[in-house]
Structures are given as C-alpha cells and as structure tokens.
Amino acid sequence: MDLNNFAICYNSQIAHSVETKDILYKFLRKKNVSVDVVDIDGLKQGFDFVFVVGGDGTILKTARFYAKYKTPVFGINLGRLGFLSQSSREKIENSVEKIFSGRFYIQDRLMLKSGDYTALNDFVIKGCDLGRTSRFSLKINDKPVCDYLADGIIISTPTGSTAYCLSAGGPVLSPLLKAFVIVPICPHTLSARPLVVPETEKITVCTDNENKYVLSADGQELYEIEKQTDIVKADYDARLALLEDSEFYSVLTNKLHWAMPPAYIN
C-alpha cells in the first residue's frame, strides 16, 4: 500500500489536541511525506491515510466522511474510553513507525444509511417528548415483526454493538460479522429482546401520527423523521487502520474490563 499523502484530522475542542497534532505533524515531516492538517469541521478528500486526533466521536465523524473515498483512518485517543483508537499521545512515535514499516492492516466496517445520512455506530430513534414512552412498529423487508412501547429503538452495526447498544442490553458482535442489531430502549415488556439480522435486510421503523420523532446518527447528527424511516446497509464501508498486534477480544478486556471479577477491597 503506497502511503505518500497524509492528513491529520484533529478536534480543537478536545484538551491537548493541538499539541498532539503538532507532535504528530513534526514526526511525519521527518519521514519526507506530504502532510496536511484539517479540523474536524473542515474535512476534505485527497489523502492516502488519515490520522485522527481526538476521542471516539471525532473518529466516528472522520471515518464516516472518508468511507466514501475508501481512505483508512487511524485513531489517536485523547478522550476517555477510546474504543476505536489504536494509539495514545504517549505512543505516537511507536505507532507511526509501525505504520511506515507496514505492521498494520485495514479492516472494513459495516455502516448504516437512512436517506442521506450514514452511521458507523448506530441510528437511534426517539420521541421528541422525553417525558413519555413512544410507540414503534418494526418491519423487516416490509413484513411486520413486532410493536414496541419503549423509550426508543437502536439500530446498530457490529462496531456500535459496544456502544449505546451494549448499554441498552444488546449483544457484543465481532466487527467482522455481516449483521445488524435491533435493540429497544427500556421496553414496557419483558418479551422484547434484541434482534440480530443479516446485513441484507431492510429495516423499517414506523411511528404514530400523534407525536414527533427524531433520528440520530452516531449521536451526532439529529433530524426529525416522518411516519416511518427505512434503514439499510450503506453503499460503502468505513476503513479503520489497525496495528498488527491489535485484536478485538483483547480490546474488550483492556478497555471494557469484560467479565473481570470485582476488585477486592483490603
């Protein structure tokens, strides 16, 4: 993979992002490659590889933008969890050396689309009146599946299965699976359980005519929807650059402390 034209995308609203961006820029310039710096609100195309300095939200927005250009993105975490990140401020030089020596791989991640919007993690549909539960009807491939009385409904990708979907009681999916998860939020019935469906399905969420509803994409873009919305696989995948020693299940342990016993108190 020829890497000659790099971009550094950073979020100036995150602490230490400017200093970290400067450190990365100086180190890349020593490699005698072309490097451009772009703000999260001024993304543009034309790069072979993009470094993202910020938290998971910054990576989500950047990955969505560059997915249609098939440009890989590499996250340097300055946020809290940094589940999508591969490096930290302290490990920048080591990570860059691994990338330039070819010790990384590209992993394509499924995305969702609803109209003109795309999501790498999830779409969430909720009623505008947060003090009330909402009614939803779920269809798959235009066939009725069930009705929900709930606070909302999440349609998640495997990447998003460790985000809001997990907090709402959904399963963790390997990012390599070709499937989506449908999870009701606080449903008013014990029989409502998460549903995993193939990537080829068309998911339709219908709402009633009495209330207003909104759909959020990755918790960042928000817009009002009509009586129903169709959600399907996006036309392109996000491309995440991962270091060779990165492995999904170890990330579960290291960042989510998956199934670890509580610490003993002395």
Helix (H, G, I), strand (E, B) or coil at 227: coil
- Residue 216 and residue 146 share a domain: yes
Q: Any catalytic annotation for residue 56?
A: yes
Residues 226, 248, single domain; the answer is no
Of 52, 70, 164, give the one whose Cα is nearest residue 109: 70
Say how far apart CA 58 and CA 112 lie, in whole Å.
18
Mean pLDDT of 150-173: 95
pLDDT category of residue 265 using cuts at 50, 70 and 90? very low
Q: What is the pLDDT of residues 214-255, one digit of tens each?
A: 999 999 988 888 788 999 999 999 999 999 877 788 777 776
Region 166-184: mean pLDDT is 95
Dihedral pair phi/psi, residue 236, rounded to 5°: -145, 160
Residue 19's pLDDT band (cuts 50, 70, 90): very high
pTM of the model: 0.90
Q: Show the domain range for 205.
A: 112-233
Statement to judge: residues 228 and 248 lie in one domain:
no
Domain count for the chain: 2
Residues 100 and 194 in one domain: no
What's the pLDDT at 211?
A: 76
Instruction: List the helix and strand counts (H, then E) for the chain.
Output: 5, 19
Which of the residue ranges 41-45, 103-107, 129-133, 243-247 would you say has the lowest mean pLDDT?
Answer: 129-133
Does 220 lie in the same domain as 116?
yes
Q: What percent of the chain has pLDDT over 90?
A: 68
Write phi, then psi, for 206 (nearest 5 degrees).
-105, 145
Q: What is the CATH number of the domain that holds 181?
A: 2.60.200.30
**Catalytic residue from among 56, 122, 218, 237:** 56
At residue 136, the 3 state secondary structure works out as: strand
Residues 133 and 216 placed together within one structural domain of the fold: yes
Which comes out higher in pLDDT, residue 207 or 124? 124
| 64/86 same-domain check | yes
Q: Provide the token pair at 202.
A: 């068309």
pLDDT beyond 70 at 79: no
- Check whether residue 145 and residue 224 sit in a common domain: yes
Specify whether 156 is located in the same domain as 214: yes
Which of 177, 215, 223, 216 shows the shortest CA–CA distance to 196? 177
Closest CA to 257 of 162, 170, 189: 162
Task: Please check whether residues 31 and 78 belong to one and the same domain.
Answer: yes
